[in-house]
Amino acid sequence: MKISIIIPTYEMHGKGIEYLGDALRSILEQTYKDYEVIISDHSIGDNIEKYIESFNLDIKYFKYTEKRGNAAANYNNAIKKASGDIIKPLAQDDYFYSDDALEIFSSHILNGGWVISGRREGGIDKVPNWIKFNQTGRNTVSGPSCIVYKKCDLLWNENLIWFFDCDLYYKLRDIFGNPIIDMRPLIFNRIHNHQFTNHISKARKKQERKEFIKKWL
């Protein structure tokens, strides 16, 4: 099955190309080769477009000028361009921690509709906790880089800027049932000051979490 790796990009305060390079190199190292890379670029200049020309990858690049700063919209634009059987989100500042990550994800998808993996974060291996997430509404799953799912008629909620990933997880649950959990750290989650979540106000976070709990729990 073909995997569409979707990567939303932007300048990321001058770190965008550096981080994207790590992500693309980790894709090149994958043992599973039946994939395409979809980049939806929210950046203003053409630095990212020029940079990816140096990579020997099946990259479909799309400049996306609408809704700049809206991560869910940037993901959605990439999803709409995907031709694979499987959607694999990968944040620009994350990368595959294991060179057989795609192999593992694809094997799981044969037995279920979506998968959540563990990740390496801050020098520590962390595992997803789906049960605790269901009980508390706190994101004990992690971000979109740790999931993969069968392609379906599902777009991400562009009205959310913080809890859009959690909203997605519950929509996937409604379509496919509970996820397959793989505890192994297949993804490296980069922690840094330029993460967009660090620039969201506490009031907005509180509002979105309250609405999420009301809707799903």
What's the pLDDT score for residue 16?
92
Q: Report d(CA 42, CA 73) in Å as an integer.
A: 10
**What is the average pLDDT across 131-155?**
95
What's the pLDDT score for residue 200?
87
Please give the structure tokens belonging to residue 29.
């190292």
The DSSP line for 133-175 is HHHH-S--S--GGGEEEE--S----TT-SSSHHHHHHHHHHHH
Is the model more confident about 57 or about 125? 125
Facing residues of 189 across strands? 121
What's the pLDDT score for residue 170?
97
Q: Give the tens place of pLDDT for each residue, 176-216.
A: 999 999 999 999 999 877 777 777 899 999 999 999 999 99
Q: Report d(CA 100, CA 33) in Å as an integer.
A: 10
> 60 in helix, strand or coil?
strand
Q: Give the tens place of pLDDT for each residue, 156-181.
A: 999 999 999 999 999 999 999 999 99
Considering the entire predicted model, what is its pTM? 0.96
What's the pLDDT score for residue 56?
86
Q: How is the chain split into domains, by residue range?
A: 3-216
Q: Give the tens place of pLDDT for each residue, 40-51.
A: 999 999 999 999
Does pLDDT of 58 surpass 80?
Answer: yes
CA atoms within 13 A of residue 53's CA, in its CB half-sphere: 5
Q: How confident is the model at residue 63 (pLDDT cuts 50, 70, 90)?
A: very high
Q: Report d(CA 196, CA 77) in Å as an integer.
A: 18
Q: Report d(CA 130, CA 211) in Å as an integer.
A: 19
Alpha helices in the chain (DSSP H): 16-28, 47-51, 71-81, 101-109, 130-136, 164-176, 202-216
Q: Which helix (H) or strand (E) holds 124?
A: strand 124-126
**What is the average pLDDT across 83-92?**
97
What's the pLDDT score for residue 174?
97
Architecture of domain 3-216: Alpha-Beta Complex (3.90)
Q: Using CB atoms within 10 A of its CB, is residue 122 exposed (0-12), middle (13-18) or buried (19+)?
A: exposed
What's the pLDDT score for residue 158?
97
**What is the average pLDDT across 9-21?**
93
Backbone angles phi and psi of 115, in degrees to 5: -135, 145
Angle at 106 between CA 79 and CA 197, to 5 degrees: 50
Instruction: Output the CA–CA distances (angstroms, integers) from residue 113 to 6, 11, 86, in the order listed.
Output: 18, 33, 9
Q: Report d(CA 81, CA 87) in Å as an integer.
A: 11
Mean pLDDT of the chain: 95
